[in-house]
A and B are shown apart, each in its own frame.
Chain A
Amino acid sequence: MIVLNSSDGATFEVEESVAVQSQTIKHMIEDNCADTSIPLPNVNGVTLARVLEYIKKHAEAKDDEEGLKSFDAEFVKVDQASLFEIILAANYLDIKGLLDLTCQTVADQIKDLTVEEVRAIFNIMNDFTPEEEAKLRNDHAWAFE
């Protein structure tokens, strides 16, 4: 069993065979950095719990394609802020399946939004001049309909 410590001090126990779905944890174990427990300063307790839920399910139900599909669909039904947290965690922990799933979910959520809404979500400054932006919109007018 491997012990994981979240940034806010929560501890989680998980089987090594399950934990190695995270390439980051896998490398730490291989490099012998995991004697007592693995500190994960970039992931908070709530998010880590969710990530573990994902990798546990994907380890135990490995061959059940249908079951995993519906699990994944339910798994991503969280508020957007949490979804972004999971993306960051999956990226840090290097769990490809989880990263693909969450990024696809965000993509599906934003694909029909307006440019302003996207800026708001990601806190992005509009650095175009009004003329530059107008020209861009005009060039692909149909995409804005």
Chain B
Amino acid sequence: MLPGGKSTKTSRFEPIENPRKISLNSTASSSTPLPSSPSKSIQEKQNDDIPLDTSFSSSPSASATIIARNEDLLTQILLKLPPKSLLRFQCVSKQWLSLISDPVFRRRHSSRIRRYPTTDFLFFSSDSYRNEIDLLSFSGDWVDSVGNVSSPLRYSLEGEILSLQSCNGLLCIQFMVNDISRELIVYNPTTCKHRSIPWPYAESIPLVIRYTNIAFDPVKSDYYKLVCVGVDLNGTFYRFLVYSSEAGVWSVSRDALGMDSDSAYYFGKGVLWNGDVHFLGSDCCTLCFDIENECLQPSTPRIPTNLEVVGRWDIRYFGETGGNLYVICLNKPKAMLFDVFALKRDYSQWVVKYRVDFAPLITCYPEMKNRGFHTPCFVVDKEGKKARIVILVEDKFIYYDIHGMFVKELVEVVPVYAEVGGWGDSTWYRWCEAYQHVDTLASV
């Protein structure tokens, strides 16, 4: 998928000529790469397991014609197509356009999330020189496409992106317009449509608005909600405001959370899981905001890390994948050992799902030790049989397959700027957040 707009802006990602696939299985530090499969260009499609019909005869079959004329049957087929194909097939005929752009059809379609075996990630870097949203899409071992998602947005909105948060394919973005006013929009990069949301306000309670998160679960509801965290003017407590796209208005939750010098919460990234938006706190518990009832629920128990004091950078990942909520946390200070915790569905405890040792990677990528690394994405399939950590090392994205014990290079990242004045090498590769993305026809 390669979203763009009228002018497809190039992404910060570049394909790697001969991406290495390195096995970590050998006892000795194995830096001899596995013979890599013939490099496939990004454009090549992976159609090996789908029977390619060779009988695209010039005369269409009678049954095909009958099916096309039966709206019910045709809709059944359309519902099973990915969003990108559907947007293209709107051009087939006026009937197809009418069927595909029908809001009822789109709701039905987006509620059946059938993930084709691709993994899409949206990356947002908030450095002010480049304020773009990049997309990386990979399936199996190959990168399907890279792209830039913000170009269509740029056409209608001026300003700098202050913050971004995404859930199941919809984005919630705060823009800074004209240096004084801020604007809030919800954007669907698949359909390229966006909606301006009235700025959050609470009638009787003046609040300074800090962060806004989007909660969208098409399986549960066609509508999305925005959860906004604001602080009262004295800086004593947090209040939560909820916007429902169904109602189109903001309401204040009755729950207030006292601001405590002991615990702080990272409200910039709320993760929707099990009907709650979870916010990670410095005390290693997550605050749960119940989306449906619009109130706070009891926090989850403390993540049982080995560390006595957990610094913000010890938590390398917090997010949802494969139906579970995960936290990747450092196991030992100065070690390359990490624990992957998953929260039990009854919220009773966090369990260690995997213990991942990055030490074998250091031999292949010594920069990980010298320059550090980020783990913006973690992907697990529903059965838990395949777990991969996407790692940003210097200028490359690689992924580490935990079960298969191998590392595969994905893309290279173009630095924003190579030098800044006399500071020499200030290549900027840092990413603020990454979000697992799904193409969806959901309306904003």
* Tier of interface size on chain A: 35 or more
Known: A115-B92, A127-B94. A91 touches B82 (CB 8 A): no
> Which of B20-28, B56-64, B289-297 lies at the interface?
B56-64
B89: which A residues are within 8 A, CB to CB? 115, 118
Question: Is B90 in contact with A140, judged by CB distance below 8 angstroms?
Answer: yes
Interface status of A3 (Cβ within 8 A of chain B): no
Q: B6: CB under 8 A from chain A?
A: yes
Q: How far is the CB of B382 from chain A (nearest CB, A)?
A: 14
Chain B positions 43 through 59: 1 when the CB is less than 8 Å from some CB of chain A, otherwise 0? 00101011111111110
Q: By the criterion CB–CB under 8 Å, are A80 and B55 in contact? A: yes
Chain A nearest CB from B74 CB (Å) reads 8
| Beta-carbon contact of A145 and B87 below 8 Å | no
- 0 or 1 for each of A130-145: is its CB under 8 Å from B? (1 = yes): 0001001111111111
Q: How far is the CA of A125 from the CA of B95 in the complex (A)?
A: 10
Tell me, yes or no, whether B91 is within 8 Å of chain A by CB: yes
Give the contacts of B173-197 with A (CB-CB under 8 A).
191-192
B84 neighbours in A (Cβ, 8 Å): 143
* A77 adjacent to chain B (CB < 8 Å): yes
Whether A103 sits at the interface, judged by CB under 8 Å, is yes
A109 touches B50 (CB 8 A): yes
B26 to chain A, nearest CB (A): 32
Q: How far is the CA of A87 from the CA of B77 in the complex (A)?
A: 10
Q: How far is the CB of A138 from chain B (nearest CB, A)?
A: 7
Give CA–CA (A138, B66) in the complex, Å. 31
Which residues between 72 and 87 of chain A lie within 8 Å of chain B, taking CB atoms?
73, 76-77, 79-81, 84-85, 87
Min C-beta distance of B330 to chain A, whole Å: 39
The answer to whether A110 and B56 touch across the interface, beta carbons within 8 angstroms, is no
B8 and A122 contacting across the interface, CB-CB below 8 Å: no
Interface residue? B16 (CB, 8 A): no
Please tell me if A111 contacts chain B, counting CB pairs below 8 Å: yes
Contact for B87 among A81, A104, A112, A140, CB less than 8 A: A140
CB-based contact B92/A124 at 8 Å:
yes
The answer to whether the Cβ of B370 comes within 8 Å of any Cβ in the partner chain is: no
B352 within 8 A of A: no
Tell me, in angstroms, the Cα distance from A36 to B67 when the chains sit together: 31
Q: How big is chain B's contact interface, by range?
A: 35 or more
The reply to whether the CB of B128 lies closer than 8 angstroms to some CB of chain A is: no
Q: Are A128 and B94 in contact (CB under 8 A)?
A: yes
Chain B CB within 8 A of A88 CB: yes
Q: Which of A99-128 contact B (CB under 8 A)?
A: 99-100, 103-104, 106-112, 115, 117-128
Q: Which of B47, B55, B60, B88 makes the CB contact (< 8 A) with A115?
A: B88
Given contacts A106-B77, A140-B192, is CB(A120)–CB(B56) below 8 Å?
Answer: yes
Contact of B73 (CB < 8 Å), options: A81, A87, A117: A87
Report Cα–Cα, A63/B40, bound state, in Å.
Answer: 39
Give the distance to chain A from B202, nearest Cβ to Cβ, in Å.
Answer: 38
Of the candidates B8, B65, B73, B96, the one whose C-beta lies within 8 Å of that of A142 is B8
Contact B67 A122 (CB under 8 A): yes
Q: Which of A91, A104, A117, A124 contacts B93 (CB 8 A)?
A: A124
Bound complex: CA of A138 vs CA of B65, how far in Å? 28
**Given the complex, which residues of B lie within 8 Å of A121, measured CB to CB?**
56, 60, 64
**B85 sits at the interface (CB 8 A):** yes
Residues in A whose Cβ lies below 8 Å from that of B256: none
Enumerate chain B residues within 8 angstroms of A142, measured Cβ to Cβ: 2-5, 8, 147, 192
Q: Which of B76, B81, B87, B147 contacts A110 (CB 8 A)?
A: B81
Asked if B153 is at the interface (CB within 8 A of a chain A CB), the reply is no
Q: How far is the CA of A109 from the CA of B325 in the complex (A)?
A: 34
Known: A107-B77, A138-B6. A122 touches B64 (CB 8 A): yes
B97 proximity list for chain A (CB < 8 A): 136
CB distance B63 to A81 under 8 Å?
A: yes
Query: Does A112 contact B77, Cβ atoms closer than 8 Å?
Result: no
Query: Can you name the residue of chain B whose Cβ is closest to the Cβ of A136?
Result: B91
B68 at interface, CB cutoff 8 A = yes
Q: A123-B65, A127-B94 are in contact. Are A117 and B77 (CB under 8 A)?
A: no
- Is B80 an interface residue, CB under 8 A from the partner? yes
Known: A81-B64, A136-B90, A140-B192. 14 other contacts (CB 8 A): A77-B51, A80-B53, A80-B55, A87-B67, A100-B76, A106-B77, A111-B85, A112-B85, A115-B89, A124-B95, A141-B4, A141-B6, A142-B2, A144-B88
Pick 28 A–B contacts, CB within 8 A, sort by A: A79-B54, A81-B63, A81-B64, A84-B66, A84-B67, A91-B70, A103-B76, A108-B50, A109-B50, A109-B51, A109-B52, A111-B81, A115-B89, A115-B92, A117-B56, A119-B93, A120-B56, A121-B56, A121-B60, A126-B92, A128-B93, A128-B94, A139-B192, A140-B191, A140-B192, A142-B4, A142-B8, A143-B88
In order of increasing CB-CB distance, the 8 nearest A-B pairs are A84-B63, A122-B68, A107-B80, A123-B60, A81-B61, A143-B87, A111-B85, A80-B53
